[in-house]
Structure 1
Amino acid sequence: MNQNPTRVEGHDYLYQRGRRYVVRVQVPRELRLAVGRGELKKSLGGDFLRAKREYHATVAEFLGRIDAARRQSAERGQGQSAFRSCFDDEGRLPQNV
């Protein structure tokens, strides 16, 4: 039995491993710490019709988690930019504050 996952044609994130179907979404490297892993996976069982029914909701959930991490990362970045703008080019507070 072949245990290497094979992508199911027509589905970017659906793979077949043996007799089971799995959704696999890679997390961008810069968001892996925020998401907590490098790949989001969920087994959808061995029934292809059931896997197709659950596929879109699962992908939407995973992409939503990645987008939420991206938004949080951007918000933190903006906060850091505002914080950094309080300092001069050499990292010191201006004397005339």
Structure 2
Amino acid sequence: MSDDDVERLLVTLHDHLAATATRPVREDVSRWLGEAEAVAGDLALGATPTDDVLRTRLGHVEHLLSNVESTEDAEADDHVAAANAALADVLKLLDERE
């Protein structure tokens, strides 16, 4: 898989997390999502770091999202599920590149 595939998935991850910011989610969940969005945004909008740094930062996003069970908003929950899928896909691509 190419760097373009990784970059596309990083943008997808960020876009889904950013979409939750406009939804009426629980306040405690909003903090987790906001921090995950910030990290994903740095990865999606900045220069792509080395694979090791990328894995570390994505691990942080994974940890943050693990604290989100339900946002109490169906549309936000769909975006969180899509973000988790993009996260899993980009981690898989990184593993395949090793």
Instruction: With the length of structure 2 as denominator, give the TM-score of the two structures.
Output: 0.34
Whose radius of gyration is greater, 1 or 2? 1
- Greater helix percent: which structure? 2
